[in-house]
A and B are shown apart, each in its own frame.
Chain A
Amino acid sequence: MIKRLVAATAVAALALTACSGGTGAGTAGGSGGDNAPVTKIKLVAAEYSKDNTAAFWNKFASAYKAKTGIDLDVQVVSWDDIDQQSSTMIQNNAAPDILNLNAYASYAKDSLLYSSDEVLSDSVKSDLLPNFVQSGTYQGKMYGMPDLSSARALFYNTDLFAKAGIAGPPKTWDEFTADAQKITALGNGTVGYAMPLGPEEAQAEFSIWMFNNGGNWKTDDKWTINSPQNVDTLTFLKTLSVNDKVTQNNPGKTNRTDGAFPLFQSGKAGMVVGFSPLAATLDKDAKVKYATAPMPTKAGGAPATYGVTDYLMAFKKPGNQDAVKAFYDLYYSPDQVNTFIKAEGFLPVTESGVKQFASDPKLKTYLDTLTGAKLTPTDDPNWDRVKLAVQQNIGAAVAPNGDPKAVLDKLQAQAESGG
């Protein structure tokens, strides 16, 4: 009996220590010094939705395999965890071949990426929308290939607007305040504007207001976070919350996904800044009657649209250049890229995509402005830090004791010192 236990222990110890073999999926990309073409590449993709993201990429992998003979390992990671996952891989020199993320410039700065000259066919590159090419370009070369885009618009609850006797969406900030006050006055917990300045996406919420007051994060290649317009904008947002009291409770600590959007979806908010996935949810629920409009501007000038794109970047690894190029060729074929974007409910990144989507009346508000949409400075590696600083600090400015100028001064100093 002793023998049996000792044997069992020994076997267990062996099994636990001699950890070779197994059924590992193998290291992605070749690790050999030679540049023999790889037979397998790895994609780490961010998850936009449970129903569509993994399904699309798995199908894509089959198509890719059929076309090139190369295996495509797909790992879909939630947005909450993808920074940690990519960092872990890079710390261990195990970067994937393709990474899907909302930033790329720091990776380009670290010389980890292929530029479009190396992996993008000319026909593909010329089809990309120019403002996305620009935001994907770091020091004169394009590294951030856009996978999809979205544009923000003002969503307003038409029932509440009618009840409050408001004819149409506000065009200026004064009208905006007045409308929000009328809706708040309806009572019963209704708020004029659901404002998410919590850490989840504060930089997006602030950007869209900032752009519509003539401000920007950077102007002529210099940080202008604490410019007078921006202080004015943030002060306006604080006033909405603290003085006018037309926002929901505690906007500096409200996130978008589980804070501002649900309030609008419940019919309790007159206005919110939304994007096409919100529209899809609202249509599905069919509880709230809403319409979309361009953002109001400070003085009533031409509205600016805030656009966002995420990126598919390619890591330089021995022997994977052709495989990566084939990946992009296939991804940007209209059948693939537009199918993905349509399934996820986002907006196109190519000229041909804009044409294809133009027939959808629901997307008209966005498509008209997409080519002129302004983006955050994702082409500056420092932005990757500044964005986090913004997310963690802006909310404090709209609290009752908040100081918009002080907050922006601090962010400006942080940006100037390299994030």
Chain B
Amino acid sequence: MGESRVIFGSRRRRRVVIVLLLIAAALLLAACSGGDPTNLARVVDRAKPQSTLDPKGPNAAKIDDLYLMVIIVAAAVFVLVQGALLVAIFKFRQRKGQERPVRQMHGNMRLELVWTIIPVVILAIIAVPTLSTLFDLRSAPDPSENALQIEVTGHQWWWEFSYPEYGFTTAGELHIPVDRPVYLTMTSADVIHSFWVPPLNGKRDVVPGRISNLLLQADDPGVYTGQCAEFCGLAHADMRIRLFAETPADFESWALAQAQPAVIPTTGPAAAGWETFSTICIACHAVEGTNAQIRIAPDLTHLASRTSFAGATIDNTPENLKAWLHDPSALKPMRPDLNKPSQGRIMGMPNFHLTDQQIDDLIALLETFQ
């Protein structure tokens, strides 16, 4: 009691404490005032669309079941150990400084062997389902299961998805049919990334120079979010994924539409937009059906059909596109001054200082990329 007066005692000190608290409150308020042109509620109807605790497919469900089993065992151990600790503290603490007689116990070999062996047994029991689930989840799908193949490439800082069966490439958002295994074949164009859509499966690193695989399967139609889980530099937080699980019919019509080449308008602002595109954007972006074939930035053939852009970070609206074309780095941190295409390294989209007219024309063009 006496000591606590040391901090709160004098009025001056109390004032210092109040000022410190006010500073803390001001900083907290400042932290709350962020602005981001993303509104996941537009596409997602669940409160926690990225949770591992609400699995939406067989792979994630197996993991969740296993985790639940382990957490129950862990909770039991937690209660026993913390309980013993608390009992010991309350039973054997000195009261009012009264010394208790203490028998000088040095140990008890039998007891110590027991509490060495019991954890070994518990762990050995846990190990069995762990290893069987591990081998189960790591196996490639059987050819008879007719898995959908998707090729995934991680880039700083966006995901590229190719559907070899249908012959098209898209970015940031992938669509899969429900109740059908999806087999991802993944690699990286630059540094290590990690593909992760928690409601459907655990994550898997995507390593340059290596191929890694991951099995996905969704039970129900819905939108699931994910993001890169391995730190990959400046905009790691903005390398996100939106996954649309659809009925087989919906998926089929989406895929067939995506496989269509773009048709470049010949009149109006969109045609003017193509002029700009084919002088500037063409250096990095591909559009199927045209001579834009360089693929070091996202394929834009069907940009207008996506709900988001810039690594699934920004909602795909004309206003956001306009802001993006004005100054990309203002919406998502990037370092385009460090782009080195010769080394395959693209650190983001530069600001081309486009005029308002050029931007409006480009947006008119991009809106035709349905």
Q: Do A and B come from one complex?
A: no
Q: List the interface of chain A (C-beta within 8 A of B).
A: none
